[in-house]
Chains A and B, each alone.
Chain A
Amino acid sequence: MNELVQSVQGFMYPDEVELQWSVLIVLYPFITGLVAGAFILASLERVFNVEEVKPTYRLALLTALAFLIVAPMPLQLHLGHPERSFEMFLTPHKTSAMAMFGFVYMWYLMVVLVVEIWLEFRRDIVMAARTTRGLLGFVYRLMTLGSMNISERALAIDDKTGWIITIIGIPSAFLLHGYVGFIFGSIKANPWWSTPLMPVVFLFSAMVSGIALVMLMYMATTWLRKRTIDMRCLDTIARYMFYTFVIDFSLEMLDLIHRIYQSDESFQSLDFMVHTRLWMSHVVLQIVIGTVVPLLMLAATQVLPLRDAVRRAIYASSGGLTLIGIFAMRWNVVIGGQLFSKSFLGYTTYKMALTTREGLLTSIVLMILPFFILWALVKLLPPWWETSGTKTAGGAHGSAV
């Protein structure tokens, strides 16, 4: 306790000295944001017929699934007793947003993602089930659910059903990440969080981060497979990322201007915090390096006639910076909201542990884990048609590279 008190500046109530929500709670909205964003990018092609982003459609779905599987893990590690989480399904508490999220998560995982991926890959699954032997063959046969029918009519039904699922999936993705923002925005006791803009800001930042991730994944996988990047696809993704980012940044600035102009009783304290403890993560990392710089870089690609190689370099670096910026945004919301006292007279410090259950190493493992899952998913269900051995662009719906 003495060590903790030394990290306090000014006056804090006893329960504010130690931060309860650690870096794992920063990871949670970051990862769910990537899921929602990746899915929304996939739906662009499926529902809104943006043909250019077709090469990323299947990869975006698998990326969303890989990250969604990891999304609840930071929460489980933070709370401990993962076996208890099942109880929220057994005895649902209808007035608790956190408890109801279990259902949103389950709905999104099982009904939206798994079904959509199954329908999209069913043709490939059936073909693989016919040709693959051994354990993997058994897995494929299990995934066919005993139906080997891939007639044109059956695939057309899959296509139509997949379209309906995507239509349902878009509001579900909005709900998934809007909820995360709601959890913070609805806490009226905390002026750093309490704003109705929070769910909208979280949603748009989720879309930005998800699009950035899929864009980087597409570039990386194409490079690893020694194929040529479809620049028309990359340009379109970057354009959508730019538009979404402009909306996201405008909303965040609207929130900031509103706070500055309103200058309520919390303002002086929050202003001090932004200029001291959050200066690096908020102003430098989130606003300058993670938002303004990538926005300017993306804007340059929209107005200047740049060569393909230059545009690729800009997209790669702006995508990376965007992910850093969005992570910093999650950090500033979660950690920043716990650094100041509700008396507005004091500040505490967050010191991240290295090897504890909620420490840095755990966070790094949790951030790497989705990529391993994605690797396994890609091995099982290759999103590119050359390796899946089909001539037409994979599945009824297709994803030509």
Chain B
Amino acid sequence: MKDAAHLIRLAAVFAAGFIAFLLIRQALVPAGFGKYGHFRAGALDDIRARKVSFAGREQCAICHDDRVKELHAGKHAGVGCEACHEAQAKHAQLDDPSTGKPVLPDTKVLCARCHEKNNAKPRGFPQVATAEHSGGEPCKSCHNPHSPKL
């Protein structure tokens, strides 16, 4: 046993390290961790306290029902309002939304994001070489973005 004393010392060093780790763990792991899953329970309240950015289509439809109906009838039925008009929760929450009107998107840039011609896109997907197709004119000069089919 005397000749194995150094191994006991080594084991003691490891045990001390392990105990130190447990103490550090106790001090550093935030309260509520693991209550609902592998995260800090308090994070839910923190997230809930953050401001909402997107209003959602239902909110838009309260005032812009005509536009939403037009959108639903056309090819862009699946595209959310805020996909083109940016997050508008701030605008929707105003007492008088007309005092903070959102800026209209530049259709020259916006439409090309999806419809610029690329040979690798599926054949049936509407796409144009915008430089040749419109010669720099904004798309909305001819197309209604809410119902683009001419």
Contact = CB atoms under 8 A, between A and B. Distances in A.
A188 interface: no
Contacts of B9: 145-147
Interface in A3-48: 10-11
Nearest to B38: A93
B120 A10 contact: yes
A90 B6 contact: no
A157 B28 contact: no
Contact of B10 (A90, A91, A145, A343): A145
Interface in A139-194: 144-147, 149, 151, 153-154, 157, 161
Contact of A153 (B3, B14, B24, B33): B3
Interface in B1-56: 2-7, 9-10, 13-14, 21, 24-25, 28-29, 33-34, 38
Nearest to A148: B6
Contacts of A115: 10
A154 B3 contact: yes
B118 interface: yes
Given A122-B6, A147-B9, A153-B3, A91 B29 contact: yes
Contacts, number: 46
B121 interface: yes
A240 interface: no
A345 interface: yes
A137 interface: no
What interface size band does chain A fall in? 20 to 34
Interface residues of B, number: 22
B29 A118 contact: no
A243 B106 CA distance: 65
Contacts of A145: 6, 9-10, 13
B69 to A, nearest CB: 31
Interface in A56-100: 89-91, 93
A146 B2 CA distance: 13
A346 interface: yes
- Residue among A122, A145, A153, A343 facing the most chain B CB atoms (10 A cut-off): A145
Nearest to A147: B6
A343 B120 contact: yes
B4 A154 contact: yes
Contacts of A151: 3
Contacts of B6: 122, 144-145, 147, 149, 154
A359 to B, nearest CB: 31
Nearest to B30: A91
Contact of A149 (B5, B21, B28, B38): B5
A257 to B, nearest CB: 30
A90 B23 CA distance: 11
B29 A149 contact: no
A357 to B, nearest CB: 26
B121 A149 contact: no
Contacts of A146: 9
Nearest to A115: B10
Contacts of B10: 115, 118, 145
B120 A91 contact: no
Contacts of B2: 149
Contacts of A122: 6
A163 to B, nearest CB: 14
A11 B118 contact: yes
Contact of A91 (B3, B7, B14, B33): B33
B82 to A, nearest CB: 18
Contacts of A161: 7
11 contacts: A10-B119, A11-B119, A11-B120, A89-B21, A89-B25, A93-B38, A122-B6, A145-B9, A147-B5, A149-B6, A157-B7
Interface of A: 10-11, 89-91, 93, 110, 115, 118, 122, 144-147, 149, 151, 153-154, 157, 161, 343, 345-346
List the 10 closest pairs (A to B, CB-CB), nearest first.
A11-B120, A147-B6, A154-B3, A145-B9, A153-B3, A345-B120, A10-B120, A90-B25, A157-B4, A90-B29
Given A10-B119, A145-B13, 13 more contacts: A11-B118, A90-B29, A91-B29, A91-B33, A110-B14, A115-B10, A122-B6, A144-B6, A145-B6, A145-B10, A147-B9, A149-B2, A157-B3
